[in-house]
Structure 1
Amino acid sequence: MTKSILAKENILLNAAVASKEEAIKLTGSILVEKGYVDANYIEKMLEREQLTSTYMGNFVAIPHGTEDSKSFVKESGISFVQVPQGVDFGAGNIVKLLIGIAGKDNEHLDILSKIAIVCSEEENIEKLVSAKSADEILSIFEEVN
């Protein structure tokens, strides 16, 4: 049985991180712990960030691996880390929501488009940043069809 791409267990609320590297490692470690990726994937996420920032605007970053990291992905998965105090992603970009992505065979593209829709609304970002439970986070994403 395949796991849910974004499961309740993949959501970490109220995290505090000192740097974007720490934030990316935390986001990646959820994917590793839940069995979506090999530990090497985290290095590829950090490598991707060196190449080009995964900051998307609106307090959101979407860390993911490089093109050559596909071999480390066991199955598609998404991790969600809420950092209410924010973490500096450089150039004055503050991130409060990290959405880590591991994609296999384009299965993640559907949920990625949902994330894009949800995160394009400032009102949704505020709800996600202040959410007090994983269920609250999931329900915000489930409202999008």
Structure 2
Amino acid sequence: MQGDVEEAVEALLNAMLNLRFKADKSLLTQLTEAAQQIDLSAYTSESVERFEAALAHAKATLDNEALSQDDQAVVDRAFDDLQKAIEGLAQADGTSSLAVNGDGTLSTATNSAKTGDTAPIALASALLLAGAAVVLCKKRGTEQ
């Protein structure tokens, strides 16, 4: 019985010594999922080949369960390579592949911006000045 306990203790200690924190792959996972949604039919074959190579490397990095915090640079490099490959996708027709999407919440209404409407402040200031003028006029009238 004592021998079984000693073996279990030794196995537990070895497991604890081999315990390492895993590398953070959350950003790489998000980028890989987004990259898999890209329609590659409009891009040049050279840029698609570079993209597919970077995507394959990113997937292999994600599948590698042995990567620890010490190997975070490997994960970061795979992320950077995939991001550069996405940015490097060249349109087959020669146009820019970067699309600029505007803010869809903007409106063209003539109302004041929600962050700085000055009409109520101006009205309050005008009423305050008018009230002060009335008080001064009454005060001058009572002094004479």
Same fold (TM over 0.5): no
**Which category describes the TM-score, using the shorter chain as reference length?**
under 0.3
With normalisation by structure 1, the TM-score equals 0.22
With normalisation by structure 2, the TM-score equals 0.22
Pick the structure with more helix per residue: 2
Pick the structure with more strand per residue: 1
